[in-house]
Amino acid sequence: MLSADLRTTCAAILAAMLVLSGVAVAQQPTPVRSDQDILIQLEHDWDAAFHRHDAPFIDHILADEFIVTYDNGVRADRKIELQLATSLDENIESSTMDEFIVKEFANTAVVWFTLHLVGPVKGERVQNDYRFTDVFVFRDGRWQCVSSQSTKMVGG
């Protein structure tokens, strides 16, 4: 059996170890997300915001000088894109994104991805697939889109 002094010393050491282990856990930094992860998440969030007509969210992503070229060749600016975000009435059952490629060049990044939209058109369920190229610049501590181009995939 341990003496009272030895038990007290063991208890003090154990308590100190528990406190120190708690400090070590508390001091572990939160995982840092890469710019690639941030940009891919931003694309997913933008897509979701577009479908729920969340113009304030999209407004935050788009740079003042934003220009978009739609799959039909029509070019528009940020004002038109925000109007579409609030007024476009789509019958989308599913919107998924894949095939992401992200390349960074200093404070600029290019994001390529494929968007798959499923929904009814004239009573028939169809899937339309689009390839996107978005160009972002990093300014004021965040990524902003300056250009977007979509191309409808043939047979998609």
Per-residue pLDDT of 105-125, as tens digits, reads 999 999 999 999 999 877 788
Is the per-residue pLDDT at 64 higher than 90?
yes
pTM of the model: 0.78
User: For all residues of the chain together, what is the average pLDDT?
Assistant: 86
For residue 9, the model assigns a pLDDT of 52
**pLDDT tens digits, one per residue of 28-37:** 677 788 999 9
Q: Which residue has the higher pLDDT, 6 or 93?
A: 93
Q: Tens digit of pLDDT for each residue in 135-155? A: 999 999 999 999 999 999 987
pLDDT (average), residues 43-54: 95
The answer to whether residue 89 scores a pLDDT higher than 60 is yes
**Residue 137 CA, distance from chain mean position:** 15
Per-residue pLDDT, 31: 76
- Give me the mean pLDDT over the 57-76 stretch: 97
